[in-house]
Chains A and B, each alone.
Chain A
Amino acid sequence: GDSVTQMEGPVTLSEEAFLTINCTYTATGYPSLFWYVQYPGEGLQLLLKATKADDKGSNKGFEATYRKETTSFHLEKGSVQVSDSAVYFCALEDYGGSQGNLIFGKGTKLSVKP
């Protein structure tokens, strides 16, 4: 079945450091890919998405490119801030394999130190 694998955390960075959180997926169809962010004690917020190969999603300085050849959707940010501290989830939506339901990775906790 469909699945998402993302790098295990926690990830601890200093402010202004470069961030990469790896995400790879397996899917039977042509999925849409998402990154969600969860701040402490809250629900999930959509950070960015890409619906087809080679699309780049971007928001708040974060970017991710849908790479079909490597089945990847890595999240990057050039300069992180303390306020970026949160848990980040990679997810896919695949009408071919999972009836359009979201399949999540296990999440990566990011801590940014001043």
Chain B
Amino acid sequence: QKEVEQDPGPLSVPEGAIVSLNCTYSNSAFQYFMWYRQYSRKGPELLMYTYSSGNKEDGRFTAQVDKSSKYISLFIRDSQPSDSATYLCAMKGVTGGGNKLTFGTGTQLKVEL
């Protein structure tokens, strides 16, 4: 079993829809959680970075962490065609392991006009 599980999709939604992307994890040592967006043939770029359980909002994006359930989510409001990309969750522990990240496999999202 992988340490981080993520539904690969693809997920197709109409423009303007609310998108929900999710990851589950098994390692309770993970304390920092990130969401990256990756366009085709590009490197990942950081969207959201959270530590505490609860919600963190940035524009149309909301990251949610539930450490008790080992479950994290990313919500995208008013989705746009430019949001079409692969979304990767990533996480790391507090001590040891330096800054190496453990990633989910990514969810491919397509927002259609």
A pairs with B: no
Q: Which residues of A contact B (CB under 8 A)?
A: none
